[in-house]
Amino acid sequence: MAAIVLKLVLIKKYNMEETKRAKVDIDKLRKILAEFKKLALHEKYPQILQWVENYLHDAEHFYNKKDYYSAFGAANYAFGIIDGILIIEGKKHEEV
């Protein structure tokens, strides 16, 4: 019985960490997206803006469905797209 309880505690802890990580990365994506818009790069790269907003929508959808692994992946993929543009444009000055 103790083994079952321990297993359930570990599963719950893992799920909480997974949930938190996905939420942190979605918030991180929102922050870099705001920076992208603040720098008016969305005007130069409208297709990038559309892709990133779609990935953000997907990440939020996966998060709400409790598919935290996919939420994490979608958020990080979109973050990488914007991060690359910021680097190309010489606008990446600090970690977002």
- What tens-digit pLDDT sequence spans the chain (96 residues)? 555 544 444 445 556 688 899 999 999 999 999 999 999 999 999 999 999 999 999 999 999 999 999 999 999 999 999 999 999 999 887 655
Containing structural domain, residue 50: 18-88
- The secondary structure of 33-96 as a DSSP string is HHHHHHTTHHHH-HHHHHHHHHHHHHHHHHHHTT-HHHHHHHHHHHHHHHHHHHHHTT---S--
CATH number at residue 31: 1.20.1270.90
User: 9 lies in a domain?
Assistant: no
Whether residue 10 is contained in a domain is answered as: no
pLDDT of residue 95: 57
Inter-axis angle of helices 2-38 and 68-88, nearest 10: 30
The sign of the torsion formed by the CA atoms of 62, 43, 81, 83 equals: negative
What domain count does the chain have? 1
Whether the model clears a pTM of 0.85, i.e. scores above it, the answer is no
Predicted confidence at residue 11, as pLDDT, reads 44
Rounded distance, CA 80 to CA 72, Å?
12
Q: Give, rounded to a whole angstrom, the gap between the first and last alpha carbons of the chain.
A: 45
- Gap between the Cα atoms of 61 and 71, Å rounded: 8
